[in-house]
């Protein structure tokens, strides 16, 4: 059975104390009961990784993720953080290929392939992001766009390596805009992603790959979106910065 994941992406937000207050409120909430196949993941800014990890270690199935990692293993790359560094402090997940990294920092598929390679070499589970901008959606070419991103970013991997990949579909036009794909639109794209994986790796691999939805997920719509058969949770931005909202989102994972 594939994992269901409620993943928080704090992006470049919160002071350290605000982050501690937020994770403490979530990690100690008695309403959260995660099964063995459900996890909550918190992608936090680099300076807070160890601090936030200390506050999640005692919580059942809570993990910390980095929001990015370097494409290089080590060396003279001032300001970069390597996958080996993340592994050395006990980080289990890393987000790679987020639309903001692709757009603002010109991260190409070639760069993402290198990042995925070093992440997997250091036993990190990769949350690989894919998604289309508004003009692609309006042209009705989103399926081809997403299939191309998957092929360029992941199709060099073996079946065994793909077991350590989580895919997050993020319609770029629905990030931070208040717009949200309908639950049916989310399901259609998630089914397309799973079919694309099946065509390359077979149904067993595709059916065991978790695919998250990442576009303005809130406490009010999470249950409906997560209820779709090919949606295995969410990668959540703004709503993950509010304890009550993200608790509701965690509790919206399929029972």
Q: Which of 55, 98, 190, 192 is catalytic?
A: 98
Residue 18 known to be catalytic? no
Angle between helices 49-56 and 16-27 (to 10 degrees): 20
Location of structure tokens 């949770």? 233
Q: Which of 107, 132, 170, 185 is catalytic?
A: 170
Residue 170 known to be catalytic? yes
DSSP letters, the chain, are: -PPEEEEEE--S---HHHHHHHHHHHHT-TT----TTEEEEEEE-GGGHHHHHHHHTTSTTEEEEES---SSSSSS-TT---HHHHHHTT--EEEE--HHHHHHS---HHHHHHHHHHHHHTTPEEEEEE---HHHHHTT-HHHHHHHHHHHHHTTS-HHHHTTEEEEE--GGGSSSS----HHHHHHHHHHHHHHHHHHH-HHHHHTS-EEE-SS--TTTHHHHHTSTT--EEEESGGGGSHHHHHHHHTTS--
Among candidates 155, 23, 153, which has minimal Cα distance to 101? 153
What is the set of active-site residues?
A: 98, 170
């Amino acid at each position: 059975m594939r994992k269901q994941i409620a993943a928080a992406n704090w992006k470049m937000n919160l002071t350290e104390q605000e982050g501690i207050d937020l994770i403490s409120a979530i990690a100690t909430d008695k309403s959260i009961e995660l099964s063995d196949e459900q996890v909550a993941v918190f992608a936090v800014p680099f300076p807070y990784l160890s601090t936030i990890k200390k506050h999640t270690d005692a919580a059942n199935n809570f993990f910390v993720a980095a929001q990015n990692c370097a494409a290089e293993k080590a060396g003279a790359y001032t300001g970069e953080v390597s996958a080996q560094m993340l592994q050395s402090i006990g980080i289990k997940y890393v987000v790679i290929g987020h639309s903001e990294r692709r757009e603002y920092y010109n991260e190409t598929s070639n760069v993402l392939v290198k990042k995925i390679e070093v992440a997997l070499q250091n036993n990190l589970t990769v949350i690989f992001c894919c998604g289309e901008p508004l003009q692609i959606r309006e042209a009705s070419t989103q399926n081809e766009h997403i299939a191309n991103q998957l092929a360029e970013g992941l199709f060099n991997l073996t079946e065994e390596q793909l077991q350590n990949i989580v895919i997050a579909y993020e319609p770029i036009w629905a990030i931070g805009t208040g717009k949200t794909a309908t639950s049916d639109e989310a399901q259609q794209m998630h089914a397309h992603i799973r079919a694309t994986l099946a065509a390359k790796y077979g149904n067993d691999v595709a059916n065991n790959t978790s695919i998250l939805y990442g576009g303005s997920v809130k406490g009010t719509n999470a249950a409906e979106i997560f209820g779709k058969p090919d949606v295995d949770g969410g990668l959540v931005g703004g709503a993950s910065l509010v304890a009550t909202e993200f608790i509701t989102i965690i509790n919206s994972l399929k029972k």
